[in-house]
Structure 1
Amino acid sequence: MQYPEPISKLIDSYMKLPGIGSKTATRLAFYTIDMQEDDVTEFAQSLISAKRDLSYCSICGNITESDPCMICADKSRDNSKVVVVEQPKDVMSLERMNEYHGLYHVLHGVLSPIEGKGPEDINIASLLRRLQKNEAIKEVIIATNATPEGEATAMYIARLVKPANIKVTRLAHGLAVGSDIEYADEMTLFKAIEGRQEI
């Protein structure tokens, strides 16, 4: 059976989201249709607002409403440490534990030859420029995910940063191999930060 065009378009829109296949997209589309009109309007406005009002911090690459972001602008943070993460959601995960008070740098991806992602495709060049400009940074803590791509990215960054005489550490593997920082609980993240090791 062919769905009416508005439903088909809605299903197609949901399928553009990562991890959403046709069955889930169809379920979401029909759920959306059953929602109150005010709720649908609010949902649509939230999508538009998020896309329109958010940008990336020119210093760290995190999602922000203002530039620089609140973390980079906060003078009380420890500016001698920078945690390098894959995605903005990883910053949020680390901030939730409320134990790390340094700075961040968001790569917006990892090195992945299979996907054709090289160093120029992620936010590595800006990290190196940042380290050159800011002599206060004494340690780079690499917090990429414990995946082959995350490990390769960590090693690549370590090779680039070490000659600058900056300590390079990696989150301890309290994080399970193959897991994402986003899904780790606060205690696991805290132990991982505490047990970081130089690479």
Structure 2
Amino acid sequence: MQIILLERVEKLGAIGDVVTVKDGFARNFLLPNKKALRANAANRKVFEANRERIEAENASRREEATAESKSLEGASVTLIRQASNAGALYGSVAVRDLVEALVADGHKVHKGQVVLGKPIKTLGMHEVKVALHPEVSVNVKVNVARSPEEAEMQAKGVDVMAAMFETDTAGFTEEYDANAEPGEISRGDEAAPAPTTTDEDEAEPA
């Protein structure tokens, strides 16, 4: 389907461009969200008659988005979630969660502006794109942790999951070594096992 863009659409074009897209994309997204018009003779005339107004409104929205982007630059939100020892969340972090966290911090963001390809399902630091306007976007940091203490460590650059794995491994090694039987090799011990004796070795020479 051929359409006339009413605003810039990433990877498609700018205001006024006539482009060809898949019918489903046009009917389900571009047309109902007033991002485009069908490219027929009547709509071409309507667009040209209103082009100046459309471009002025777009410029105004872009200025507002630019102002809002300054408060979002470097922004970070923390979400406390339950997770397994491997770092997999019991559930996931979706767009709604991110919008609620950003709005709670005083940012003017709605769900249509948060670009999340797929839900966040692991602990750690994540970057999420927020498109405030087709021509203005910023990345915000999302700190997903099991506790405020872990969140603080992650914010400082500590890989909590890696540190936990190292701790668990060290504890296992210490327990293994402590329970080793006499003559057994403990982990990290390069010495050969203690030799065993036989009745022949203990017998005195004739």
Give the TM-score of the pair, scaled to structure 1. 0.27
- Select the structure that is richer in strand: 2
Give the TM-score of the pair, scaled to structure 2. 0.26
- Select the structure that is richer in helix: 1
Larger Rg: 2
